[in-house]
Amino acid sequence: MSKNQVLFERAQRTIPGGVNSPVRAFRSVGGTPRFIERAQGAYFWDADGKRYIDYIGSWGPMILGHVHPEVLEAVQRVLADGFSFGAPTEAEIEIAEEICKLVPSIEQVRMVSSGTEATMSALRLARGFTNRSRIIKFEGCYHGHADSLLVKAGSGLLTFGNPTSAGVPADIAKHTTVLEYNNVEQLDEAFKAFGSEIASVIVEPVAGNMNLVRATPEFLNALRERCTEYGAVLIFDEVMCGFRVALGGAQEVYGIKPDLTCLGKVIGGGMPAAAFGGRRDIMAHLAPLGGVYQAGTLSGNPIAVAAGLKTLQLIQRRGFYDDLAKQTRKLVDGLGAAARDAKVPFSADSIGGMFGLYFMDRVPGSFAQIQQGDTQRFNAFFHAMLDAGVYFAPSAFEAGFVSSAHDDAVIDATLDAARGAFASLAA
């Protein structure tokens, strides 16, 4: 029995499902999760000592690759001064200033410790600012595990949403309306029906939790126009795509200014850190200035801030995003060519350092289209690549990530493995 199997059996005795985040369990692809012991650059090594090319990057944060020497040095420099204070530090001001500089829609920002905290707090703030209760979210977009966000579409277009998790009261779910991603007609209908009740619309402008799905410019422009018209707060959840698709996030790519933005992943440099911020008049409603309460013991933790601040500084180097996008595009183009050679139905897309792989003939634009993909073929591909030492997300419904450490040699090795994997699918 491998050490990974031994650890998984041991973990299941004290941890529900043997993992602390469900996607790590390999449930959708089958098999034993890999327990990671160390990482460096574009690689990590499991408990059996096997090396993998890593395309999850801790689900996005490791944009510089693992254990980047300058980030490591920044963390080591602050460690000796203390792990946490429960009081403000100058570094918190520095990272706030850096975020506001890089994302022009953010005039003020509040640090938190997770993406779920960021979205939950932003929605509470939007409700407090507007004195309204209803929120709109979109099918396939994941915004963390707060109660009001674990909701799926109702049986009809404008029916109340239904909880997708046990433990979420129907009385909470009823305040969430779920619409189809990229569907402007549904959006217009929802605002006509509920416009005066809508506190906020929250959206991933580049979705990553139903796999990579881009919003259309028409869809995001309609969101901005309707929110402005009806006085609702437009929230861009850029926890995943922020600083991933461009230095200014997806809002820079699309040229659209949300009212509030949620950030995470990259801004922690691999440490637990996230943030939400936006218009000064909205942020003024937060305690201690206003009546919307939000707090966190470890918010702005000095170690996390040190890692995040150094990461934000390094990604501003000239040509960083051009190089990152080029390597990501080389990966997806190469995978597409390998699939065509093997005559396997497949498509792929990328934006910045994010990519999506779809076992279908077209790039999808909604959750319903994503569901048409061949998950059995994906599972077989995933395991073939895993056996070859390439670690993609263990789910057909998750985006992948490339770092600046994924050089030509890494991409070429991945494509060599992929040609064999696709050939085995065609056999």
pLDDT digits (tens, 9 = 90+) for 2-50: 999 999 999 999 999 999 988 888 988 999 999 999 999 999 999 999 9
Percent of the chain with pLDDT over 90: 90
CA–CA distance, 312 with 143 (Å, rounded to integer): 23
CA–CA distance, 269 with 218 (Å, rounded to integer): 33
pTM of the model as a whole: 0.96
pLDDT at 165: 80
pLDDT at 5: 96
> Mean pLDDT over residues 51-76, rounded?
98
Please give the C-alpha separations between residue 335 and each of 195, 282, 400, 416, 423, in angstroms, as whole numbers. Answer: 44, 45, 13, 10, 12
In the predicted structure, residue 145 carries a pLDDT above the cut 90:
no
Task: Assign 303 a pLDDT band (cuts: 50, 70, 90).
Answer: very high
* 153-184 per-position pLDDT tens digit: 554 444 455 677 888 888 888 889 999 999 99
Run of H or E including 200: strand 198-203
pLDDT at 155: 44
Cis previous bond, 69, omega within 30: no
β-pairing, 233-238 with 274-278?
unpaired
In the predicted structure, residue 331 carries a pLDDT above the cut 80:
yes
C-alpha dihedral (245, 250, 254, 257), degrees to nearest 10:
-150
Neighbour-count burial of 83, counting CB atoms closer than 10 A to its CB (0-12 exposed, 13-18 middle, 19+ buried):
exposed
Listed in sequence order, the DSSP H helices in 80-196 are 90-102, 115-130, 170-173, 184-194
* 247-289 per-position pLDDT tens digit: 999 999 999 999 999 999 999 999 999 999 999 999 999 999 9
In the predicted structure, residue 194 carries a pLDDT above the cut 80:
yes
Tokens of 283: 């942020």
Catalytic residues: 142, 237, 265
255: left (phi over 0), alpha (psi -120 to 50) or beta: left
